[in-house]
């Protein structure tokens, strides 16, 4: 099953909740997602059975990897039960989780037992003050590091650690993060600050490019580029020449990878999105709750993916990274709603 640009569907990201216990300014700024913000009610969320049914249909159409996201996915009660249900879907080779790590230390082993195979943890600095500015909340790096250690001990290895690099906030912590995770067995990935959603006040001047990040690291340690680990890989991979491990850079602003994007995203309330920068989704909840059969669901999924022509990042890059003037395009869906 190919889209309009010949891209297959291979990866499904499932947001299980729109809630989070942090307020990172680049994803869920507190001035927008404050005490009075109306999050989804429980009845609006897809049930685990509904999620599994949609995931199974998408697996039949080519999905081989499922990633659970949020919000913060570990806030969804009994998430282990969903992992176990998804692990029973034929053809799915990997079930991963992206988390801020705050609740991971006590859950890593039970998630592994349920069938989770990989985990990615967000950590933007090791310094408490800097981490607070990036997370929008008092946050101890020790607590996140404990979650990473627990995941590794549970066998969810290698743990991937994501660092969003934002100029003026944490770019001066790149080398400290690299030093911390060298020889750890984990894979540290540096992510360019992206213009996701419509509320984070993104400015091109705050983007620290992947090339700038790599240049700084190479001034201290020699690096060798590695080939992609699989089709649709979004991170460019490098290894330390001294054998200290691997890092990655995700350059969706400076060097878009739209041409190889194989991802679809399912929101917590059952809308399917075909791009991280989408302005709208396709309602699958209404379809499954009004008695649609498997053939009807499959046909609708084929229609959605077959019509896909998204390439937002490439178009943005073609216009020299400049945003359209206000009012020229509808608001993009917030990343906290459909996962990263």
In the numeric block, the tokens 């909840």 are attached to 285
| CA–CA distance, 10 with 64 (Å, rounded to integer) | 6
Tokens of 276: 């991280």
**pLDDT at position 26 over 90:** no
**pLDDT at position 273 over 80:** yes
Question: Is 3.30.310.220 the CATH number for 11-338?
Answer: no
Q: Specify the higher pLDDT residue, 32 or 4.
A: 4
**pLDDT at position 323 over 50:** no
Tokens of 180: 């911390």
**pLDDT at position 324 over 70:** no
pLDDT for the residue 321: 47
Mean pLDDT for 232-237 is 87
Contact (CB, 8 A) for 170 and 210 = no
160, with CB counted inside 10 A (0-12, 13-18, 19+), is buried
pLDDT for the residue 239: 98
In the numeric block, the tokens 């009004």 are attached to 290
Mean pLDDT for 258-282 is 94
Mean pLDDT for 227-243 is 90
Query: How would you write the chain as a 3-class SS string?
Result: CECCCCCECCEEEEECCCCCCCCCCCCCCCCCCCCCCCCCCHHHCCCHHHHHHHHHHHHHCCCCEEEEECCCHHHCCCHHHHHHHHHCCCCCCEEEEEECCCCCCCCHHHHHHHCCCEEEEECCCCCHHHHHHHHCCCCCHHHHHHHHHHHHHCCCCCCEEEEEEECCCCHHHHHHHHHHHCCCCCEEEEEECCCCCCCCCCCHHHECCHHHHHHHHHCCCCEEEECCCCCCCCCEEEEECCCCCEEEEECCCCCCCHHHCCEEEECCCCEEECCCCCCCCEECHHHHHCCCCHHHHHHHHHHHHHCCCCCHHHHHHHCCCCCCCCCCCCCCCCHHHHCC
pLDDT band at 320 (very low <50, low <70, confident <90, very high): low
- What confidence tens digit (pLDDT) does each residue in 116-125 have? 999 999 999 9
Instruction: Strand 236-240: give its sheet, edge to edge.
Output: 223-226, 236-240, 246-250, 187-192, 160-165, 118-122, 94-99, 65-69, 11-15, 263-266, 271-273, 282-283
pLDDT for the residue 165: 97
pLDDT for the residue 329: 58
- What confidence tens digit (pLDDT) does each residue in 60-87 have? 999 999 999 999 999 999 999 999 999 9
pLDDT for the residue 229: 83
For the chain, the residue count is 340
Q: Which one, of 315, 199, 203, 208, lies nearest residue 251 by Cα?
A: 208
pLDDT band at 333 (very low <50, low <70, confident <90, very high): confident
Average pLDDT in the chain: 93
Q: How many CB atoms lie within 10 A of CB 78?
A: 10
**pLDDT at position 340 over 80:** no
pLDDT for the residue 90: 96
Mean pLDDT for 88-115 is 97
**pLDDT at position 325 over 60:** no
Domain boundaries, the chain: 11-338
């Amino acid at each position: 099953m190919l889209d309009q640009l010949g891209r297959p569907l291979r990866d499904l990201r499932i947001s299980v909740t729109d809630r989070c216990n942090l307020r990172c300014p680049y994803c869920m700024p507190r001035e927008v997602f404050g005490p009075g913000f109306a999050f989804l009610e429980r009845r609006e969320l897809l049930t685990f059975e509904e999620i599994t049914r949609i995931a199974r249909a998408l697996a039949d159409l080519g999905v081989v990897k499922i990633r659970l996201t949020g919000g913060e996915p570990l806030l969804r009660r009994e998430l282990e039960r969903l992992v176990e249900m998804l692990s029973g879907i034929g053809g799915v080779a990997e079930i991963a989780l992206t988390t801020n790590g705050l609740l991971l230390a006590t859950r890593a082993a039970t998630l592994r037992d349920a069938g989770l195979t990989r985990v990615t943890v967000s950590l933007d600095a090791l310094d408490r003050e800097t981490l607070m500015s990036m997370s929008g909340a008092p946050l101890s790096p020790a607590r996140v590091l404990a979650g990473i250690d627990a995941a590794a001990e549970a066998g969810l290895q290698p743990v991937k650690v994501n660092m969003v690099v934002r100029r003026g906030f944490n770019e001066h912590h790149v080398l400290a993060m690299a030093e911390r995770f060298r020889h750890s067995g984990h894979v540290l990935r540096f992510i360019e600050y992206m213009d996701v959603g419509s509320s984070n006040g993104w400015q091109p001047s705050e983007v620290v490019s992947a090339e700038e990040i790599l240049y700084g690291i190479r001034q201290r340690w020699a690096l060798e580029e590695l080939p992609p680990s699989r089709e649709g890989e979004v991170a460019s991979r490098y290894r330390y020449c001294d054998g200290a491990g691997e890092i990655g850079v995700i350059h969706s602003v400076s060097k878009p990878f739209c041409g190889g994007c194989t991802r679809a995203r399912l929101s917590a309330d059952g809308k399917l999105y075909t791009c991280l920068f989408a302005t709208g989704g396709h309602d699958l909840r209404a379809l499954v709750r009004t008695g649609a059969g498997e053939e009807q669901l499959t046909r609708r999924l084929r229609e959605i993916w077959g019509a896909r022509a998204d390439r937002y990042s490439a178009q943005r890059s073609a216009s020299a990274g400049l945003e359209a003037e206000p009012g020229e395009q509808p608001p993009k869906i917030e990343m906290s709603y459909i996962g990263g």
